[in-house]
Structure 1
Amino acid sequence: MESKNPQYHETEAIALKVREHIVRMSTAGGCFTGASLSAVDLVVYLYTEFLNVTPFNLNDPNRDYLFLSKGHDVPALYGTLAELGFIQKERLEKHLSLDDYIYWHPNTNIPGIEFHSGSLGHLPSVALGVAMDLKICGSSNKVICIMGDGELNEGSCWESVLVANAYGLDNLIFVIDRNHFQANMRTEDLIPLEPLAQKFESFGAAVKRVNGHDFAELDKAFKSYPFQKGKLNVVIADTVRGKGLPSIEERADRWFCNFSAGEIDELLLELHGTHTTSLTSETLIVR
């Protein structure tokens, strides 16, 4: 989003469309708006520039895998899958409807979603199991697991890092959406995570830290995969909760939002830089 590099013009355009989808899903029951907006550029970059997975090769044994462990960010994944043709865009209008599977967490009935998630700390183990199987089979598929920074308070995440390194799973990449918030408080005010890179390195991982909204930085990091032979790859992506909407950026109370239809219209204008709003009304739900 911040690269402003002509090379990534199409990727930036897709990311903007995905943010529009997230804003539109933030009403009539709402969604995890702030958390999803921080992950948009990561998800869009991975699907458009790095992963070998398309709507047409989902059954191909040589395709790559993306597991969204921070499942509450699924609006970012829904929007990306819609923009890239995995699902029809019209399905997003059924968000939280009993007529579809588009709701607050990933569901494998939706093409492109690999595994149900939402129970934080669960999918790193699932992803490493898939990566281990691929290693045993001699396959070259890439496996990515996107995790939240607050999710790292789950001990199972660190157990997965230990096991991945014990078995030399350099085909596995853990991506940390480091937006510095956990639910409705800052991570460093609850259980401090820093120095995060050094913690992963002490567990044996090869680590790169990047601006998670800069496609050029993301490209430089991911295109150097595997970072070190025989080691788990970890990308710590520094991001901004609510990225793209200044009125809700880095706000603890804008984790889960349920805006009115009128506020959605204002936010869409703000997203495109044509309107400024403070949105002070009490129309959100904080969980």
Structure 2
Amino acid sequence: MNMEKDKLEELKLLSVKIRKDVLEMLEKRGYGHMGGSLSIVELMSVLYGKQLRYDAKNPDWEERDMVVLSKGHSGPAWYSVLAEKGFFDREWLFTLNDGGTKLPSHPDRLKTPGVDMTTGSLGQGTSAAAGIATGFKMNKTDQYVYLIVGDGELNEGQCWEAFQYIAHYKLNHCVVIIDDNKKQLDGTTKEVMNPFSIENKMKAFGFYTQTVKGNDEEAIDEAINRAKNVKDQAVCIILDSIKGAGVPYFEQLDANHSVKFNNDTIKKATKDAIKELDEFIKGGAR
């Protein structure tokens, strides 16, 4: 079923706001994890704009759905959507990674409203999400936990141990989302540790698996809806995404995992992108 036009425009506008926030907060910081933050923008828009059950004024609401951003270096995208949805003041975004900040480089559940699990040591979030989903199943609740994993993160054996557990126990309320942006810290995933077909691997592990475009809000939403209709099998969504998505300069930049704003070219490309996104916001969603 196609999404209503107004809702789709609302999500696209939210995506633009998140992308602009990420650029502004990293520019102010002077460095940061640009590529992997931008590749999950549309996912975060769909989760917090449509799919998740939450109360921004009561982040610890017991009946909420949860998010585990196992690829914790992409925290800027998460912080942005939390701010846009009212979990905390947007001005917090510009304290990213400052001394004493409530928005550390990697998410910390004891510091940031709306963060349910501390992450950053790659692979560990997968086990945490499996545990959360187990709790939901034991308590017979209808809550979901959305586990967001990076493709480079799949180098960690812990991911596959957790996936085997999730599949064995048919934890279909743990929606595994793999951000397949095809790059990691030291190069492309094929160069560093060829993943071959992630989709085939997840299917072999016993998951109902779908692959969708990572920058398509409607396709992501439909994939989540289909996953929620699976009753007796683990579920996985693979985002066919682009590192640095939505900003051509950063999409094409080889070293776009973590970016330093240390030359005029990068600074100009960032300011131009922020200006373009700001014009979209002022004009409303297309």
- TM-score, structure 2 normalization: 0.89
Provide the residue aligned with 2:53 in structure 1.
Answer: 52
Provide the residue aligned with 1:243 in structure 2.
Answer: 245
One-letter amino acid matched to 2:272: L
SS in 1 for 2:22: helix
SS in 2 for 1:175: strand
Rounded to whole Å, the distance in 2 between the matches of 1:267 and 1:58 is 32
Rounded to whole Å, the distance in 2 between the matches of 1:12 and 1:271 is 16
Change (3 A) 1:268 1:165: same
Change (3 A) 1:88 1:264: farther
* Displacement of 1:17: 1.2
One-letter amino acid matched to 2:37: S
The equivalent position to 2:185 in structure 1, one of 180, 183, 186, is 183
Query: Does residue 268 of structure 1 match 2:261?
Result: no
Q: Is the 8 A contact 2:72 2:120 kept in 1?
A: yes
Q: Is the 8 A contact 2:127 2:162 kept in 1?
A: yes
Structure 2, gaps ≥5 residues long? 278-286
Q: Is the 8 A contact 1:30 1:256 kept in 2?
A: yes
Query: Does residue 25 of structure 1 match 2:28?
Result: no
Q: Deviations over 1:89-146 (max 9, x none)?
A: 1111112221412231101211001111110000111001010011011111011110
The equivalent position to 2:118 in structure 1, one of 106, 116, 119, is 116
Instruction: Count residues in correspondence.
Output: 272
The equivalent position to 1:202 in structure 2, one of 184, 201, 204, is 204
Provide the residue aligned with 2:154 in structure 1.
Answer: 152
Rounded to whole Å, the distance in 2 between the matches of 1:231 and 1:273 is 43
- TM-score, structure 1 normalization: 0.89
Q: Is the 8 A contact 2:92 2:102 kept in 1?
A: no
Q: Deviations over 1:53-86 (max 9, x none)?
A: 2303422221100000000000000111111111
Provide the residue aligned with 1:125 in structure 2.
Answer: 127
Which portions of structure 1, spanning 4 or more consecutive aligned residues, are displaced by more than 3 angstroms? 3-7, 260-266, 271-274
Change (3 A) 1:269 1:6: farther
Change (3 A) 1:16 1:270: same
* Displacement of 1:14: 1.3
Structure 1, gaps ≥5 residues long? 275-287
Q: Is the 8 A contact 2:59 2:87 kept in 1?
A: no
Question: Which shifted more, 195-204 or 68-77?
Answer: 195-204
Identity of aligned residues (%): 30
* Displacement of 1:254: 1.6
SS in 1 for 2:220: helix
Provide the residue aligned with 1:9 in structure 2.
Answer: 9
Rounded to whole Å, the distance in 1 between the matches of 2:229 and 2:190 is 28
Rounded to whole Å, the distance in 2 between the matches of 1:88 and 1:201 is 41
Rounded to whole Å, the distance in 1 between the matches of 2:38 and 2:129 is 23
One-letter amino acid matched to 2:260: N
